[in-house]
C-alpha cells in the first residue's frame, strides 16, 4: 500500500482527499465578501464523487452540479452542467489542507487566478469537511 500511495501524484491524492461532503463556510466574489449568490448560503453542502460535484441547499434542492479536472500543483478546471456557466471551462486554483478546501475561479478564457483574493470576474469559496 505504501508503494501505491507513493506512486500517486498530487492531483490523484487531492482527488481522493476531496471525496465526500463539504460545507461552504465562506464566499468572496468580485472583491466583495459574502455577496448574494444563488449557489450558496448558510448550510449549503457540496458533495464530491469522483470528478463530479453537486451543491445542495439545506432543504436538499439542487443549486449547482458539474465536473472538475484536477491538474495538480493547485490547479483545477470547473465545468458546470447547469446554470449560467453550463459547459464553460472555468480556470481555478485551489488549496486543500486536511479538512479545509478553498478555491478561486475566474471566467472562461481568462488567466487562472493565482492569488487567493478576488477581483472582478473571480469567485472564491471556502469549505470545511462535514
| Number of folded domains that form the chain | 1
| Residue where the block lists cell 470528478 | 51
Q: Are strands 89-97 and 100-105 parallel, antiparallel or unpaired?
A: antiparallel
pLDDT for 38 equals 82
Q: 100 and 128 in contact (C-beta within 8 Å)?
A: yes
pLDDT for 1 equals 47
pLDDT for 42 equals 80
> Which residues are within 8 A (CB) of 111 and not within 5 positions of it... i.e. 6 or more apart?
91
User: Residue 117's domain is classified under what CATH number?
Assistant: 2.40.128.280
Domain of 103 in residue numbering reads as 2-129
51: its cell numbers: 470528478
pTM of the model: 0.88
> Could you give the C-alpha distances from 120 to 10, 20, 62, 104, 123, in angstroms and in order?
30, 31, 26, 12, 9
pLDDT digit of tens for each residue in the chain (130 aa)? Answer: 444 455 568 899 999 999 999 999 999 999 999 998 888 878 899 999 999 999 999 999 999 999 999 998 899 999 999 999 999 999 999 999 999 999 999 999 999 999 999 999 999 999 999 8
For Cα atoms 9, 10, 13, give the angle at the middle one, nearest 5 degrees. 90
| 90 backbone φψ class: left, alpha, beta (φ>0; ψ -120 to 50) | beta
pLDDT for 7 equals 56
DSSP 41: -
Amino acid at each position: 500500500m505504501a508503494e501505491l500511495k507513493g506512486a500517486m501524484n498530487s492531483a490523484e491524492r487531492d482527488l481522493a482527499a476531496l471525496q465526500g461532503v463539504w460545507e461552504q463556510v465562506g464566499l468572496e466574489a468580485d472583491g466583495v465578501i459574502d455577496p448574494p449568490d444563488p449557489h450558496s448560503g448558510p448550510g449549503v453542502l457540496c458533495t464530491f464523487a469522483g470528478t463530479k460535484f453537486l451543491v445542495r441547499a439545506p432543504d436538499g434542492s439542487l443549486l449547482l452540479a458539474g465536473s472538475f479536472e484536477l491538474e495538480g500543483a493547485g490547479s483545477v478546471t470547473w465545468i458546470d452542467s447547469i446554470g449560467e456557466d453550463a459547459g464553460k471551462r472555468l480556470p481555478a486554483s485551489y488549496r486543500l489542507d486536511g479538512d479545509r478546501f478553498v478555491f478561486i475561479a475566474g471566467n472562461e478564457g481568462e488567466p487562472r487566478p493565482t492569488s487567493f483574493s478576488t477581483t472582478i470576474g473571480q469567485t472564491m469559496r471556502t469549505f470545511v469537511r462535514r
